[in-house]
Structure 1
Amino acid sequence: MFRRLRLQFITIASLAILFILVFMVGIINTVRSFQTEQEISKVLNTLSENNGSFGKTTKIETNQGHEIPSDSFRFFSVTLSGDKVVSQDTSHTALINDEEAASYALTVSRLTNNLGTIREKNINLSYQVSKVSKNKVLVVFLDTSSYYNSSQALMSLCILLSLFGFIFFVVIVSALSGIVIRPFIRNYEKQRRFITNAGHELKTPLAIISANTELQELMTGENEWTKSTNDQVARLTTLINSLVALSRLEEHPDIVLQDVDFSYVTEDAAEDFKGPVVRDGKSFLMDISPDIHVKAEEKSLFELVTLLVDNANKYCDPEGTVTVRLRQVGRTRKRARLEVSNTYKDGKAVDYSKFFERFYRIEESHNNKENKGFGIGLSMAQSMVKLFKGRLFASYKDDTITFTVIL
């Protein structure tokens, strides 16, 4: 149990730091991308305003306050009239010739966007189309490979640093997780020892009370007072045994699971309740598919079926029906599905999410004379199902409450 708690702590902490790192990397690169687009747009605007050159502009200021000499940029421009090239200037770049420049200009002039980026010959060319007269347009291109390479380098560096940071954080959290959950371990061990010790200490006075009551009955005969005392002693003894059993059950989360015939165990456990259910005027139905095997511990599995059927019998309506159904489900992964249900017409307003809490009973009535349980059985059943790495849940439909076990 503590190993699982430790793993959950490490997982949650790791997911939290991973989310923060991804968020930070996303923000940094988004801001950098926005700044890059602004700088490119600034240079293109300068070129367009000066008819494809920098004119008297000798330096371009970046968003970070740095100045870049205008002669360090590689660019070219083409003036078009319809589909005809009027003029072009490729003197500021050695990578693009006149034919390629004209072809690129005609291509982007037909696009709907007047501002964008194309990639040709492994070069990022950002362009801007502007109208210079009624029939002429100026298309300026700027080699922005260095901008995008810088952005890509920043992205790679952020991802690499985040990866190393995440691994370092996971290592640190894994090393310190034992210290973090140590208070929970101590509290749990104190609680477990208290339940076990209190159970043993209470058994002695209960045994004395029971013996004294038996002696009193031998001397004066049984009466309503001695009968009430014996009933309460038996009730309290059952409660103590259930608490100790639940505590011991939670002590062994790494129980060895073996192949068990679930069909045989279910039929054997449910058959014991057929007589009591019928005597109470209720119907008892069993629909158990044969030869269904699961990984479990046979004694605990028998106890699980017993707890569920006993609970169904206790809370079944008078003249109602208790049903035990076992079948195999799943196409690729075969799993066993056990359903124990009983008719319960007043169950529409019940909060089924609380059914597996310790000491919870319907209407939270601890002095319910009709149902004499303690609210521990379903909690024990859930602990057993967890040991078997399965699921247990409750549902209500058509005046029937159903407890389903998936193994």
Structure 2
Amino acid sequence: MLQFLPSVFTEGLLNPNEYCYTMPPDLIGALTTGISLATAICLLWILYHGLCVFPKFHQSINFQILSKSAFGQWILAQGKVIKGDKSGNLLNLTGSNIDVSQGKDDAMEFVKTKTALEEKLQRLLIQEKIFKDIRSSFDPEKFFQTAVNQIGEAFKVDRCLVHIYLESPTPHIPLVAEYKRPEITEPWVIDVPVIGNPHVVRILSQDAAIVCHDVDKEPLLKGALHLCHQVGLKSMVGVRTSYQGKPNGMIGIHQYHYPRQWLDEEISLLEAVAGQLGIAIAQANLLTMERQRRIELDWHNKQLSEEIRIRQYTEEALRKSEQRWQLVLNGNNDGIYDWDITTGYAFLSTRIKTMLGYEDSDLINHVDTWRNLLHPEDFQRVIASQKAYLEKKSPQYLVEYRLRCKDGNYKWILARGQALWDETGKA
């Protein structure tokens, strides 16, 4: 059996959709009796195309045959029609073959290496673009959507979901961004649980991606197959995002309609993207916390500024009030007495002190100072009158008593007063 292998057509001479076929052994035997294998192959190729009607046609082809040792050999076969009649019958054909295996193997290895490098470069470019877009903004809404769009387009998936992981009050993974193909109109509305979900728990427990080529064969999804079938999910890859070994999110890429065999290169790329996204999420969280702290600090500063303003206003109003009060005191010949019953502080005006012959600094502003100046014979009467008024048993406070002067003599004083009571009736 002589077979044209698919590698024959890599030279662009034959169309594999038209000429990849197997020749019957008896036809080969009939046409190649007494000639070399290479000449026979040229003859078959020329006969198939009817090239013998062109007596001076010369053509070369590259093809691969298998020797008895099962090692592949590349042969360059050249054939030339020497003579043919007008009816299309071949009268004379000459041909030659050359072993070109070494050159072909080197070329194929070069192409294979080049293709691998180009694919790796493409993955690096995709990875760098995703990283750059993620790092371009620390606004969570923007970089989440940017990241999910880039991942979805790079992996050519039907849907890509990005979740953040919140540990309290109970572990949950709210959806923060979604990519879907244009033909998918329905947004993702399923609230994926963490508790009781072994698939999500496994994803969140490690940095390595959890790969599922076929959801129907994944033990971790056994309890969630009804949800997978509901949305038409056939294959998926899930990987956590993390920072300093702790999960802070999750990426999921979905393939619908048919199971997809995820490549190692795709999985590695997704894990790298997840690592960068985890760092970005952590930085965004820190930035959000810093912004919140600044907002709170600004609020406290405004509150403090307002309190300072009110206090300054109050102090200024009090200062002016004291100025007016001092003017009243200075313009009044009466001595003024102001007693804070709660603290015992008793303001004695300068006038009341000079009336008794004291300097302003001689007497301490306290109720005990006033009591110590009372004449012993008046003390009980004055205290009883004061108590009756404060307990509202007397309609007014009006009493005469003697106070000791600085020279030791006593002077009669007429005291009048007005008390203030709180809502409980306490003065």
Query: TM-score normalised by the shorter chain: which range applies?
Result: under 0.3
Larger Rg: 2
Larger RCO: Structure 1 or Structure 2 (Cα < 8 Å, ≥ 6 residues apart)?
1
Task: With the length of structure 1 as denominator, give the TM-score of the two structures.
Answer: 0.28
Task: With the length of structure 2 as denominator, give the TM-score of the two structures.
Answer: 0.27
